[in-house]
A and B are shown apart, each in its own frame.
Chain A
């Protein structure tokens, strides 16, 4: 239509010229001079421009005017059937809201840029190399030790962002592609004392170019520069905006104040801007310290790390010079790094697996959040996408049924000469309006959902950094999604109801086969999609059950855990051991606490947290790895209710000067001692060249996480180790959290500078490690219920409509003597066939699709037959339930009334 208008308007000039030409000719024929004739013709035509504008206006208003008409008409239609409208909007709101909520999280980790100037010119420096383990599982790599993480890249390569300090210096020299190259190093938890008040904060060590490279301006004072970052400079610190508010009452008050970081005095020189969170969206440092101050905080012994070419610890980002592309930078720097790193290799094996430099876009900061959450969120997004598809199919179905009722109206309009396109457009306007209303309410659901999801995902983490928000990007996607949904579910019914067999519709007003077929297709689609979600929910619930039924071998209930780090407030060996032991006795004396103990960390995170031996061990002639070492204090086995099978547990007798002792778990004892009694025998920690006497055997327990934990454990005495941070465990009568106040009092009495951290019950500590599985199980169960509900409503609606349509046929059957039972069966059989077809389509799809989620499952196969069967049974039951009411209604049809109706 619009193309035709354009052509007409384009030709109008020519047409008017012709018109005037003709009039001129006539005037000449009548005897005027050519000049007069032309003037007369022009005068008679009037204002040419005005005429053209008027003609254009005729066309330009059409579209808008018709849209306004359609919207007004659509609103009237929606008001006319409030039940349908409410159900449709509610369903859509749930579907769109769920999608918006999940998408907002995706957006926050995948698309959002760092809040700094020109983030797009930032690049992150990484390296990749062949996996360091060769065929016989030996580690061969120039990276001898690392402080940080490496992850798996493409083709099984190892990727990391950690570099030796030498690489940072080399890459920073006379750099033609970067205007700045800056480094940073995770400072971990530190004890920050302000005016005698201590708290535990996250620190980040940064090089002198860090803030300049990020182009960040201070909220107050000045930021760290190169002068602050050299050995011997006055210790200066920058604090986060939040810290300045919590601890100083505002940025301005903080400047020039003295603080203690792990008992080392620093001066606050500046405050970072409020929106700044460093370079890693997964971490929000409270405290920024010049890199070289780690010599003060961590001790002069750390000086060696600046010279060790095989110790990987510093991370880097660079800012590209204007006009330099990332590829150019890569080409310029890769050979330089190559040359440097080659010099650090000492063996053939190391030379064969040299790391190669790899630049990545740095606009969004580091990728740790992306790596952690993008896959789970993608799975969730697919689930909610399916739900929305079910919702769309459902509304499409309702619209089809309604289209039947409006068939006469459509036929009348078509026969009165309304173009089919025009009528389809009007119907689509109606469904897009419906979807837009759904989207608007969906945003309300999304806000609620984002809160709920943040709560579920964070699950008690102290500084959870994944923050979703409804920004314009998210809202835009929601709007687009709504319109798309409207078109999706509106198109089939619109085309269906304007099919050109107008006359038959006018005659009897009853729909024919094609629409019923379309309805069945939509119902089958809903059933198939619901099955997928049901299976997903089943798999995740099954996984959670398996995790919950893992035999821990130690007590879950009535245990209070909390951590202390006395070394950060100046306690040193050997006094620190006594300090910790004394505290344990005082905790045990709290009324209601039956026993107290300490260890290097909670058992569930013993393999990841705290300082403990992780190398190979030797018993007799056997050398082995994989046994977990737990640094434990007196009464550990008693407190954790782990049975002692032979000998004794670690107790007060084990002192720093006495014989080093160990208690081993039953599995370890059986494996290396068979039926002999291990008590009195020895175990050796090879890397530490430490010989321990075995004094007892404990029952088996799960050392470390539920999924990967080891069944072999070696307990060593805390007094004979040199722990930094320790975790206390109190066995309490009743709710463990009731004793928190007493704990705080005792610690304050002992040393008021030590903050108590990670106060948590054992149950919560364990649940925290499976928070993703809990979240998935909860969310997917919710999704499954929702999907089932929507699909059931769809099935119910379709069958009810079919029964109503077949009233006369059923009437005749009953008049001919068909029993009610047969009528019920007739309807239910159709329901079962639909469900069966849905399942036949869905089962293979499920088998293929769920390989994707294999990594989320624990001791559960993606094709778990039990789960598939349960999902199938649930689905068929729901289908029968939804179909029963219409079937019953069919069997109540009065044959006489039905026939008369016809």
Chain B
């Protein structure tokens, strides 16, 4: 569904991918390909998940105990690995989300044109 032009796509910031994976998995367990697709879909294809960094990121999250891996069956009936959020992962997601919101808000306030101040 690469409908947008290349120039409008944004490479993910270092570390943001982890947050987005956690957020995606908060909706339910998914396999790798589906996670990447979901992120792209939900960002209207603005965010591009570099597939090469997806799996190392997943492993990093497993290592930290935020997600774990289980065997399942993909949509076309093939065996696949499904990633699922742990309780600690959920906690971490909440923590990271509020941090992100603070950061985003702060940056937004700085970037807002002076005239538009309420």
Contact = CB atoms under 8 A, between A and B. Distances in A.
A22 B37 CA distance: 11
B56 A55 contact: yes
Interface stretch (A39-47, A837-845, A888-896): A39-47
A23 B75 CA distance: 12
B113 interface: no
Nearest to B49: A44
B12 interface: no
Contact of B52 (A23, A54, A58, A62): A54
Given A22-B76, A25-B76, A419 B65 contact: yes
B55 A16 contact: yes
B33 A417 contact: no
A801 interface: no
Nearest to A43: B51
Nearest to B66: A417
Contacts of A58: 56, 59-60, 63
Contacts of B54: 51
Interface in B48-82: 50-56, 58-60, 62-63, 65, 69, 74, 76, 78-81
Nearest to A11: B81
Contacts of A54: 52-53, 55-56
A466 B24 CA distance: 73
A47 B51 CA distance: 9
Given A8-B59, A58-B63, A50 B52 contact: yes
A69 to B, nearest CB: 14
A419 B64 CA distance: 10
A18 B75 CA distance: 12
Given A12-B55, A15-B81, A51-B53, A62 B63 contact: yes
Interface string A24-51: 0100000000000000000011111011
A59 interface: yes
Contact of B33 (A22, A46, A52): A22
A45 B60 contact: no
B51 A44 contact: yes
A57 interface: yes
A51 B51 contact: yes
B59 A59 contact: yes
Nearest to B51: A45
A47 B52 contact: yes
B62 to A, nearest CB: 7
Given A18-B33, A18-B74, A59-B63, A46 B55 contact: no
A19 interface: yes
A18 B80 contact: yes
B33 A51 contact: no
Contacts of A44: 51
Classify the interface of chain B: helix, strand, loop or mixed: helix
Nearest to A52: B55
Given A15-B32, A15-B81, A19-B33, A51 B63 contact: no
A58 B56 CA distance: 7
Contact of B56 (A18, A25, A57): A57
A417 B65 contact: yes
B88 interface: yes
A839 to B, nearest CB: 50
A190 B56 CA distance: 80
A22 B74 contact: yes
A417 B88 contact: yes
A18 B63 CA distance: 23
Contacts of B76: 22, 25
B63 A19 contact: no
Contacts of A8: 59, 62, 69
B35 to A, nearest CB: 10
Residue with the greatest number of chain B CB neighbours at <10 A, chosen from A25, A50, A54: A54
A261 to B, nearest CB: 77
Contacts of B56: 51, 54-55, 57-58
B59 to A, nearest CB: 4
Contact of A51 (B31, B52, B91): B52
B78 A51 contact: no
A70 to B, nearest CB: 16
Contacts of B80: 15, 18
Nearest to A62: B63
A55 B50 contact: no
Contacts of A52: 55
Interface string A434-470: 0000000000000000000000000000000000000
Contact of B59 (A21, A23, A47, A55): A55
A415 to B, nearest CB: 11
A16 to B, nearest CB: 7
A288 to B, nearest CB: 68
A126 B28 CA distance: 80
A576 B73 CA distance: 109
Contacts of B50: 46
Interface in B3-30: none
Contacts of B91: 417
A21 B74 CA distance: 12
Contacts of A50: 52
Interface string A586-609: 000000000000000000000000
B82 to A, nearest CB: 11
Contacts of B63: 5, 58-59, 62
Contacts of A62: 63
B33 A23 contact: yes
B74 to A, nearest CB: 7
A25 B76 CA distance: 10
Nearest to B61: A58
Of listed B32, B50, B56, B80, residue having the most chain A CB within 10 A: B56
A18 B79 CA distance: 9
A184 to B, nearest CB: 67
Contacts of A417: 65, 88, 91
Contacts of B81: 11, 15
Nearest to A9: B59
A311 B50 CA distance: 92
A25 B54 CA distance: 20
A15 B51 contact: no
B83 to A, nearest CB: 11
A239 B69 CA distance: 76
Contacts of B52: 45-48, 50-51, 54
Nearest to B69: A8
A770 B22 CA distance: 79
A19 B32 contact: yes
Nearest to A57: B56
A44 to B, nearest CB: 6
Contacts of A22: 33, 74, 76
Contacts of B65: 417, 419
A12 B31 CA distance: 12
B28 to A, nearest CB: 18
Select the residue from B52, B54, B62, B79 with max chain A CB neighbours within 10 A: B52
A781 to B, nearest CB: 56
Contacts of B88: 417
A59 B33 CA distance: 22
Contacts of A51: 51-56
Nearest to A21: B78
Interface in A803-862: none
Interface of B: 31-33, 50-56, 58-60, 62-63, 65, 69, 74, 76, 78-81, 88, 91
14 contacts: A11-B81, A15-B31, A15-B55, A18-B79, A44-B51, A45-B51, A46-B51, A47-B52, A52-B55, A54-B53, A54-B56, A55-B56, A58-B60, A62-B63
Given A45-B52, A54-B52, 11 more contacts: A5-B63, A15-B55, A18-B74, A22-B76, A50-B52, A51-B51, A51-B53, A57-B56, A58-B59, A59-B59, A417-B88
Interface of A: 4-5, 8, 11-12, 15-16, 18-19, 21-23, 25, 44-48, 50-52, 54-55, 57-59, 62, 417, 419
Sort A-B residue pairs by CB-CB distance and give the 4 closest, nearest first. Answer: A54-B56, A46-B52, A45-B51, A51-B52
